[in-house]
Every structure is written in structure tokens, then in C-alpha cells.
Amino acid sequence: MFDFETLRILWWTILVFLVCGFAVLDGFDFGIGILLPFLGKSDYERRVMLNTVGPTWEGSQTWLVTLGGISFGAWSIVYASFFSGLYAGVLVLLFALFLRPVGFDYRSKIADPRWRNAWDWSLFVGGLVPAAVLSLAVGNLIIGLPFQLDGDLRSFYSGSFWDLFQPFTLLCAVIGVALFTLHGAVFLHWRTEGELADRALRVIRWSSPVFAIGFVLAGIWVGLGVDGYRIVSAVDPSVAANPLAKTVIRAPGLWLDNYRLYPGLIIAPLLALTGAWLVVILSSGRHHGVAFLVSGLTVIGAVVTAGGSMFPFMMPSSTHPRDSLTVWDASASEYTLQLLFAVTAVLMPIVLAYTIWVYRVLRGKVTVEQVRGNEHTMY
């Protein structure tokens, strides 16, 4: 089929694709959850907001499950090191995600305003916390995590939960929350009408510059103040490798190396910044569908900027740079990657086709009148 080197690059690409798919499809769900207690001025308006994502939010969340499964199969040492080291953070993420299904399903079961308001804030937490935690995780991967591997390649994490909250990672959290809020507001502006859509447009106009300014500041910080990583020993990407059998240096500005090696990578940050600007213009001009497409490309640009800057590193070690996990030494065996790719090549197009079909069938605006006419069948 493919040689080992190509398979590794393919699976890294698939991993980035799944992260992009999750960020685009679940990102606007998170954004609407964040905006729910503030944009919906009445119970019916909040129900309209929930029903814009009601038919699709569960399917969108399965992208995260798929991402975990693929990581376990293709990048098992990364999966083990990341989830064991950041166990407390992962638990916070999971418990926040637990609020989403019960919030959607239970909110409208009782007409008591206090009951519904409590679930609205639960859904707010279920949107804000995952957006912040996942963005914090990206920030910590960029600066490196304090872990090391022993001779049996067992990972030992030496940091604490509070070490995750550093100035750069907090900036990443602000960027991520602003981006998902923007993405959710664009979707809401597309799927609603009247005053609710006007409020969503106002959110678009302030969340876009917040994201863009934060994104630029993070880029400058990465270029001037954040240590990057570089492999300086010989690497043979076509053979199985031991993560401990390499030499890695760490210094400010090294995360910019790939922009010199692969000049086309500059498209990713330019796409993120240009998309954030265009989304305001398109939404103001009522070009809703195109605005949402551009918003999705903005999310993809931000994700690819982070992943492309770090390549081939997947999980750098800030305390033992040699132990950093890379595309070339953290993958499963060649046979495993071939088997997984054969299955993915069959199933992934089916999943994508079904996803496109669902969004096509369920397109159109959600109105207060629709919710009133379907009191017991809509969220």
C-alpha cells in the first residue's frame, strides 16, 4: 500500500483533519452554549438557539470520540502520555461535556423558569469549559509538557494541574473561547432571524477582533518568547524508531522553522486572520452561508497553524527534550497503520457523506413560531 514514512505522514494528516472536523462542527455548538444565557432574552429565544444545533450536536461530539480512538490506535504512546499526564484536565473536560446531553434533554421537561435557567447555565459551562480546556491543552503542547520516558517508554509526568495555567496558555484559552464564540455567533446569525440574529451579529463584530488580536499576539510570542524544539540528530522516517534515540534542542523561535522549510504553510495563519475579517463583512451583508463557510475556514486555519508549526513534534517535553514524541517515533507499527488506513478509507467517506446529507436536510432557519408549534417535540 504505502511505505512507513508515507503512512506516518498520512496518519498525522488524518489526526489534524479530525481535530479540524471536531473544531468546526462542535465549535459552533460550544459557541452557542457560551452565548445561550446572554443572547436569548426569553425562554422561546433560548429554545430557538438550542434547536439550531439540536439535530446535529450529538453527531458533532462523536468527532471527539473518533479523535480519541484514532489516537489510541495510531499514536498510542502519545495517547497514553497525554491522557495520563493531564488526567485532572481531562476529567474537567469530561465532566463539563456531561452537562451537554442532560442539559439539552432535561431543560424543557419542566416549565419552571428556575429549572430552565439552571440548565441554561449548565449548557453555558458545557460550552465554555471545553472550549477553554482544549485551547489550554494546545497552548501547553506548544510550550511543552513536563514529562519523561523511562527505558520501557513509560511516561512520567512531573507537573501539577496548576502548572497548566501559564500566561501563554491562558492567552491560548482566550483565543479559543473567542474563536468558538465567533463561530457560534455566525451559525446563529445564519439560522435565526429578527432581534436574535441582530444580537448574534453584534457578537460577531466584537469576537472577531478579540480572536484576531489574540492570534497575532500569540504568533509574536511564539516567535520571540516561547521555546520551540528541533531534532538535530539523524532521523530515518522509514523505520521503527525509539523516542529516546534522538537529540533535540530547545530555543525561542524554533517553531517558525517550518515556515522556512514549507513556505506554503503561511497560508494557514493568513487564512485565520483574513477569515476573521471577512466573516464580519459577509455577515453584515447577510451572506450567511458564505460567512459560515469562511468561519469554518478560520477555525481550520487556526488549527493548522498550531499543528503545522509544531510538525513533526506531537508532544514536546519541556523537562527532557530528548523524550519528546514526534511523528517519526511515536506511531504504531507499519502493519497497524496500514490496517487502520484500510478501514478508515472505507468508513470515512461514508461518515462525511452522511454528515453533509444531515446538514443539507436540516438546513433553514429556526423561529419562535416553530418552537411554539412543536412544544413537545423540540428542545
- Give the pLDDT confidence of 212-257 residue by residue, as tens digits: 999 999 999 999 989 999 999 888 787 877 888 899 999 999 999 9
Q: What is the pLDDT of residue 268?
A: 96
Rounded Cα distance, 227 and 224, in Å: 8
Stretch 80-108: mean pLDDT:
90
Q: What is the pLDDT of residue 354?
A: 85
Does the pLDDT at position 297 exceed 90? yes
Residues 6+ apart with CB under 8 A from 338: 1, 2, 7
Stretch 178-196: mean pLDDT:
94
Q: Which helix (H) or strand (E) holds 5?
A: helix 4-25
Rounded Cα distance, 130 and 61, in Å: 11
Residue 264 burial by Cβ neighbours in a 10 Å radius (0-12, 13-18, 19+): exposed
Q: What is the pLDDT of residue 255?
A: 94
Q: What is the pLDDT of residue 203?
A: 96
Query: What band does 61 get if pLDDT is binned at 50, 70 and 90?
Result: confident
Does the pLDDT at position 84 exceed 80? yes
Percent residues over pLDDT 70 in the chain: 100
Query: What band does 337 get if pLDDT is binned at 50, 70 and 90?
Result: very high
Task: Say if CB 230 and CB 321 are below 8 A apart.
Answer: no
Condensed to tens digits (0 to 9), the pLDDT of residues 150-182 reads: 888 888 998 888 889 999 999 999 999 999 999
Nearest in space to 369 (alpha carbons), one of 110, 106, 192:
192
Q: Which helix (H) or strand (E) holds 155?
A: strand 155-157
Does the pLDDT at position 359 exceed 90? no
Task: Say if CB 141 and CB 303 are below 8 A apart.
Answer: no
Question: What is the chain's mean pLDDT, rounded?
Answer: 91
Does the pLDDT at position 304 exceed 90? yes
Stretch 115-122: mean pLDDT:
93
Helix (H, G, I), strand (E, B) or coil at 86: coil
Q: What is the pLDDT of residue 130?
A: 94
Q: Minimum mean pLDDT among 45-59, 160-174, 182-196, 262-276: which range? A: 45-59
Q: What is the pLDDT of residue 370?
A: 80
Percent residues over pLDDT 90 in the chain: 62
Higher local confidence (pLDDT), 36 or 378: 36
Higher local confidence (pLDDT), 50 or 56: 50
Query: What band does 270 get if pLDDT is binned at 50, 70 and 90?
Result: very high
> What Cα–Cα distance (Å) separates residue 254 from each residue in 13, 90, 309, 313, 375?
21, 28, 9, 12, 56
Q: What is the pLDDT of residue 78?
A: 92
Residues 6+ apart with CB under 8 A from 140: 86, 164, 166, 169
Q: What is the pLDDT of residue 68?
A: 87
Nearest in space to 327 (alpha carbons), one of 231, 228, 223:
231
Stretch 347-352: mean pLDDT:
86
Residues linked to residue 145 through DSSP beta bridges, in sequence order: 317
Nearest in space to 187 (alpha carbons), one of 361, 51, 41, 65:
51
Stretch 305-318: mean pLDDT:
94
Residues linked to residue 231 through DSSP beta bridges, in sequence order: 248
DSSP letters spanning 203-237:
HHHHHHHHHHHHHHHHHHHHHHTSEEEEE-S---T
To 10 degrees, what angle do helices 267-284 and 194-224 make?
160
Stretch 348-370: mean pLDDT:
84
> What Cα–Cα distance (Å) separates residue 21 from each residue in 237, 255, 300?
27, 24, 8
Stretch 42-52: mean pLDDT:
90
Q: Minimum mean pLDDT among 182-186, 295-299, 329-333: which range? A: 329-333
